[in-house]
Amino acid sequence: AGGLVKGGQGELPGSAVNDEQTDIGNGLSIDSVCEFLARKNLVVRRNAPAMLPSFSFDLLLALPTDESSSKQDSDSRLSQKFVRVGFIQCVVLPQLGPSSRRVHVEAVRAAKMSDILSKEQGLTVDLSPAIGIAVILGLLVMLESKDRGISEVYGLAIDDEEKQHERLTRFMRRAGAEDVRYVGDGVQSLTDRLVWGGRGMLMKIDPQRAISRYEPVLLRWARSS
């Protein structure tokens, strides 16, 4: 969960979308998912610094434009406003000894759609009941990891509030994540706490397994549109 963060104006550099209709039934890819989301007014911005072992995704919701405006399409794009509804940041760790490369999910923020709709008058969002902001962000990370040839993605279901911790672990297990170990307050968890910054359940997921779980859900959403 997270709050609502206002996005800026203007064309978004790095967003992997275009106006073509893409058949996601031919198999999920970052491009096909981004193009599908664009038709739902959800814009994906991918950030992958060339010199850093990290990547992140911003998910932005395009706000309605003034239909009475007489501006040209190019000018309208420049004046388009967005609301940032989600963000996920990951670090790619190198291969160490027998361990393969892995992705660590470092930060996730997902706004509640009910909060967004209450703040933005006249705005409607065509989201599937089975796919929320957090699922979209997670799916993007799984697709990115698969493209990089990485088969292990790790995340910590933070345990700083009991009900929230239960929701996080339930959500991650539904996506196919497996428990690795609990990171507690004891000395034995000191290294993990330094890595993850808190206590909680450390969980691991196979990107292909997660993609396989959510692909039919995304297809149902596309067909119902």
Reported for 208-213, long-range contacts at CB under 8 A and 24+ positions apart, including other chains, are 208/142, 208/146, 208/151, 209/176, 210/138, 210/139, 210/142, 210/153, 210/175, 210/176, 210/177, 211/28, 211/139, 211/142, 211/143, 211/146, 213/174, 213/175, 213/176
pLDDT in tens, 77-110: 556 788 899 999 999 998 776 668 899 999 999 8
- Average pLDDT over the chain reads 80
pLDDT in tens, 29-65: 999 999 999 988 899 999 988 778 999 999 998 887 6
pLDDT for position 17: 36
Cβ atoms of 108 and 1 closer than 8 Å: no
Q: Which amino acid, one-letter code, is at 36?
A: F
- Using the predicted structure, report yes or no on whether residue 12 has a pLDDT greater than 60: no
Q: Quickly count: other Cβ atoms within 10 Å of residue 141's Cβ.
A: 23
Around 145, how many Cα atoms within 13 Å sit in the side-chain half-sphere? Answer: 30
Q: Which residue has the higher pLDDT, 45 or 5?
A: 45
Tell me the pTM.
0.80
pLDDT in tens, 173-185: 988 999 999 999 9
Q: How far apart are CA 125 and CA 122, in angstroms?
A: 10
Q: What whole-number percentage of the chain has pLDDT above 70?
A: 73
pLDDT in tens, 148-206: 999 999 999 999 888 889 999 998 998 899 999 999 999 998 998 988 989 999 999 99
Q: Indicate the DSSP class of residue 10.
A: S
pLDDT for position 225: 63
